[in-house]
Structure 1
Amino acid sequence: MSVPTVFFSGGAGFIASHTIPILLERGYRVRIFDSMLRGDRDRVDEFCATGQVDLVEGDVRYGGAVQHAMRGCTHAIHFATVSINKSIADPYESVDINVIGNHNVFAAAADHGVKRLVFASSASVYGDPQKLPMHEDDVLQPLTPYCISKRMGEDLLGFYQRTKGLSWMALRFFNVYGPGQKTEAYYTSVINTFLRRIRSGEPPVIDGRGDQSMDFVHVTDIARAVVAALESERDNLPVNVGTGVDTSIAQLAKILIAAVGASMEPQFNPRDVLVSRRAADITRAREVLGWEPTVPVEKGMADLVRASA
């Protein structure tokens, strides 16, 4: 019997580096498809040295390259994307990679009859939520080209499910963090800014009252959810992957001060701030994936502080 093989676009990235070891443990081969413009080549080389992983350097915007690389794969994970902050600065590139790229991967997966495709969607498809916690059936109001492309990706998956029987899961990731994340990443910039100040003996500065919040979910929990979605009996659903806990920026500052072992209070910069809050309803993840988050934000942040010391 042939070994199950996962086509993994964006497989040289941050979340992939935590997901691939679980796939290998579970007996999959992995074919990383990545442009390597931002990929971690050293980590990919380590994976390839196992003999269970190979790298195809390519761009998801080229449908023929995707079709060719998908050949012989039984499963697919699609992570290749342009980040949320870059999508506002350059909507053209965002639409090119995120929309055309999504379509090329989904079409190839449908053509090759893969058993399951897992798509990295995003909590940003909700826009500014009307209520917390955010549920998969809530109204979607994506605000940027990145967020719009994620919602469009989910709709395209539905199209290939209806026309070609593609089996898929779309994971709406909340605020992913953890070791190995690039320092300029959208969600980690606030963590890094606070840490730099605390370590230099200066209090973190918070705009407004620090009420704005995120649902910080650790990358090891995200990786487990990806593999669970690849293997779940249920399919063709979007699923929130978060912790259900909204951590305010003021709380985050205090968690990081404690993790560093400093003695200070955050400073507040009084000004009007658009308060956005995030917290996932993770009932569906529990029921459909059998998944629970295992890393509380205090422990995850403390580990991150130690790793970056």
Structure 2
Amino acid sequence: MSSKETVFFTGGAGFIGLHVVPMLLEKDYKVRIFDNMFRGDREAVAALGDDVELIDQDVRYGGSVHAAMKGCSKVIHAAAVSINKSQADPHESMDINMIGNHNVFAAAAEHGVDRLVYCSSASVYGDPERLPMHEDDKLLPITPYCIAKRAGEDLLAYYQRRANLSWVALRFFNVYGPGQKTTAYYTSVINHFVNRIKNGEPPVIDGKGEQSMDFIHVHDIARSVVLALESEQANVPVNVGTGIDTSIADLARILIDAVGADVEPQFNPRDVLVGRRAADTTRAKEVLGFEPTIDVRTGMTELIRGQ
């Protein structure tokens, strides 16, 4: 029998998971990935080695989750349907995100795991009333995805009270990096800009480009997950961002510099709802000992030049 601890990782074959798993292996964990492989990368999982097991199943089936979690001491729950898809098909979104959350949390409570790390989202805030966004701010989730993420945090608190489940909910801001899917709104913006810039065409920005996001590199996201798995403090939501809001206009200029093109952004004058995002990172530092290591200019430049 191996003395290594096993981490149960839902959605572990996806974009973020494939950055987290190697870090877990470095820390001498075994990993049991539980993923329906709808967006998972089977070849990448196979290349991770003998200490990684893949269970091709769906979090909607509570019996499967419960059986597969047996023998695991820690849980990372990342399986979810994306924001865009949740609006296109709210029924499927509720099924996977809400029922899936409950199946994983209930199983973790019953198995008495040491720690559950939940991949939540900064989208639970909705349109923030102030910047930077703090964990104790009002939550106004807008889409079925965001609503399920918020409900997941409430469910964790329930199982903490009922079964002493130890948890950390990580509210990820705008994640980017190698291996990202092009379907998320902001990654499609990045790809659209880069394609135009590489063709010698200017990126076209609606309004003045004042809309902003807090772009956090997937390497730092992965670090935060491992830190949350082992942190002494628990039972709180934690923002994972850089604390810096990068406007769409600034992003376009970073990408132009990364490609090395001689173009200027074009602005399409129209009324745009200016949304802004920036994380208050105080709690991440206090609870997890986490600070981001990759700034947006460095991360985006490496991403573009590595393509």
- Both proteins in one fold, TM over 0.5: yes
What is the DSSP-based 3-state SS (H/G/I as helix, E as strand, rest coil) of the residue aligned with 2:33?
Answer: strand
AA aligned to 1:283 is T
Identity percentage of aligned residues: 71
> Take 1:56 and 1:294, find their aligned partners in 2: how far apart are those partners?
33
How big is the alpha-carbon RMSD for the aligned residues of Structure 1 and Structure 2? 0.7
- 1:56 maps to a residue whose letter is I
Paired position in structure 2 for 1:6: 7
- Structure 1 counterpart of 2:24: 23
Q: Aligned equivalents of 2:156 and 2:182: distance in 1? A: 32
Equivalent position amino acid for 2:20 in 1: T
Unpaired stretches in structure 2, ≥5 consecutive residues: none
Q: Is 1:43 aligned with 2:39?
A: no
Q: Which amino acid letter does the alignment assign opposite residue 78 of structure 1?
A: H
Matches within 5 A, 1:156-305: 156-305=155-304
- Between the aligned partners of 1:136 and 1:306, the Cα distance in structure 2 is 35
Aligned positions of 1:53-202 closer than 5 A: 53-202=52-201
Alpha carbons 1:122, 1:147 under 8 Å: kept:
yes
Displacement, 1:146? 0.2
Return the letter of the residue paired with 2:253. Answer: K
CA shift, 1:187, in A, is 2.5
Residues 73-108 of structure 1 deviation map (CA, whole Å, 9 limit, x = unaligned): 000000000000111111001000000000000000
Partners of 1:264 and 1:203 in 2: how far apart? 5
Q: Which residue of 1 aligns with 2:51?
A: 52
**Equivalent residue of 2:186, what SS?**
coil
Q: After superposition, give the CA deviation of every residue in 1:249-305 in whole Å (9 maximum; x if it has no partner).
A: 000000000000011110000000000000000000001100100001000000110
TM-score (norm 2): 0.99
Q: Aligned AA for 1:214? A: M
What amino acid sits opposite 1:302 in the alignment?
T
> Cα deviation per residue 1:129-174 (whole Å; 9 max; x = unaligned)?
0000000000000000000000000000000000001000000000
- SS of the residue corresponding to residue 47 of structure 2 reads helix
The residue type equivalent to 2:268 in the other structure is N
Q: Structure 1 CA distance, aligned partners of 2:270 and 2:161?
A: 49
SS state at 1:287 partner: helix
Q: 1:261 and 1:88 mapped to 2: Cα distance? A: 37
CA displacement at 1:51 relative to structure 2:
1.2
Q: How far is 1:307 from its partner? A: 1.6
Query: In the aligned structure 2, how far is the partner of 1:10 from the partner of 1:184?
Result: 17
Q: Structure 2 CA distance, aligned partners of 1:220 and 1:195?
A: 21
- Preserved contact between residue 200 and residue 262 of structure 2 (Cα < 8 Å): no
Q: CA deviation at 1:184?
A: 2.1
1:186 CA displacement: 3.0
Amino acid paired to 2:130: K
Determine if contact 1:176/1:187 at 8 Å carries over to the other structure: no
Are 2:10 and 2:33, in contact at CA under 8 Å, matched by a contact in 1? yes
